[in-house]
Amino acid sequence: MKTYFQYSSVFTKIGFGAGFITNIFLIYLTVFHVKKIVGTYKTIVISFAIMGIVFAGWELVSRPFMHNYDKALVYFSLADGVPQFFQFSIAFYAMIYMSILSFIAVQFVYRYLALFHLKIAQKFDGNGVFGWLGYPIIPGIIYGSSFYLYCQPDADSDDFNADGTLRWKNMCFLVQGVAVIGLHYAVIIYFGLQMHFNMKSKLKDYSSTYRRLQNQFFRALVVQTMAPTIMFVIPAGCILLGPLFSPIFGIHLSLQTGWLCSVFSLYPPIDSIAFMMIVTETHRLLVHTTRNCG
């Protein structure tokens, strides 16, 4: 009978394979065939697809797993090898996780500026695109480094903190992580609402084709936000807050929650497929290519 660990490994490999194929295909379409996605946004789309491949691929390397036990959460690697490397690898995995969420926020800001403040957006064209691409690394480093520094294993963690004391270093990571994630969701919500309520009046003087394209980009961004919210943030929030549930509600917990990491690996293919299905040009190219292959 297969264990959670074995099922987790199988789903991770499936997620990586599906993510690699769909993201490579999206990159191929964007680079060689798509005509309406140009300039800085084209670079952003390609870079985000590459980040999805890296995220799913690094999960194969780091093999993260989690176990919620009463007042404790144990986060570790299932991989064999040098322990110090895999302590770093699961922290780096957390860094990529945060960078993806930050990159989504960046896309909302860029789409907002491109629609309502074009002159400002144009300042980030050319070499300025590295500003858009470089920013997500900063919150990623903050999140990943705080995880690495504050969540190192020690004698207390090995004993599951049997005396019931609060691990302040771990609490620092939790507070910092919630703050970083919350900040970027606030950005997403603010700029998303601004576009939702003002896009119609802004685009009324443009052609129907241009309006349709901008609406498709906006819907794609909304889906790109909802997917990680459902697959990343809500499950991760429940896991991270799990140690607080046991003392508050007086319940015993012993859950192998690490299988959710395998669910995380399914996000990249879902994201790419959603983008290709929503944007008409990529949808037509996808259908045309599929028919030719058939």
Backbone angles phi, psi at 176, to 5 degrees: -65, -40
As a whole number, mean pLDDT of residues 267-272 equals: 84
Per-residue pLDDT for 161 more than 60?
A: no
pLDDT in tens, 14-30: 888 999 999 999 999 99
Predicted local confidence at residue 48, as pLDDT? 93
Q: How far is it, in rounded angstroms, from Cα 103 to Cα 218? A: 15
The pLDDT confidence band at residue 164, using thresholds 50, 70 and 90, is: low
Predicted local confidence at residue 293, as pLDDT? 65
Predicted local confidence at residue 214, as pLDDT? 82
Predicted local confidence at residue 1, as pLDDT? 43
Predicted local confidence at residue 136, as pLDDT? 94
Distances (CA, A) of 223 to 104, 192, 277, 285: 10, 12, 11, 20
Compute the mean pLDDT over every residue in the chain, rounded to the nearest whole number: 82
Q: Quick one: fold of 4-293? A: Rhopdopsin 7-helix transmembrane proteins (1.20.1070)
Q: How far is it, in rounded angstroms, from Cα 193 to Cα 172? A: 31
The rounded percent of the chain whose pLDDT value lies above 90 is 21
pLDDT in tens, 65-115: 877 777 777 778 888 888 888 889 989 999 998 999 899 899 989 988 988
Q: Which residue has the tokens 């987790």?
A: 8
Per-residue pLDDT for 193 more than 80?
A: yes
Higher-pLDDT residue of 233, 140: 140
Predicted local confidence at residue 15, as pLDDT? 85
Amino acid at 19: G
Predicted local confidence at residue 156, as pLDDT? 59
Predicted local confidence at residue 138, as pLDDT? 96
- Segment among 128-132, 135-139, 287-291 with least mean pLDDT: 287-291
Q: Compute the residue count for the chain.
A: 294
Predicted local confidence at residue 294, as pLDDT? 56
Predicted local confidence at residue 252, as pLDDT? 76
Q: Which of 6, 2, 9 lies closest to 261, judged by CA?
A: 9
CA 187 to chain centre: 15
The pLDDT confidence band at residue 207, using thresholds 50, 70 and 90, is: confident
pLDDT in tens, 231-268: 767 777 777 777 777 777 777 777 777 777 777 778 88
Q: Are 27 and 46 in contact (CB under 8 A)?
A: yes
* Packing angle of the helix pair 267-278, 208-228 (nearest 10 deg): 160
Structure tokens at 253: 């917990």
Backbone angles phi, psi at 77, to 5 degrees: -110, 140
As a whole number, mean pLDDT of residues 192-220 equals: 81
Whole-model pTM over 0.95: no
Coil, strand or helix: which one is 7? helix
Q: How many CB atoms lie within 10 A of CB 232?
A: 19
Helices (H), the chain: 4-32, 39-62, 83-116, 118-122, 129-134, 137-150, 155-158, 168-203, 208-228, 234-240, 242-249, 259-264, 267-278, 280-293
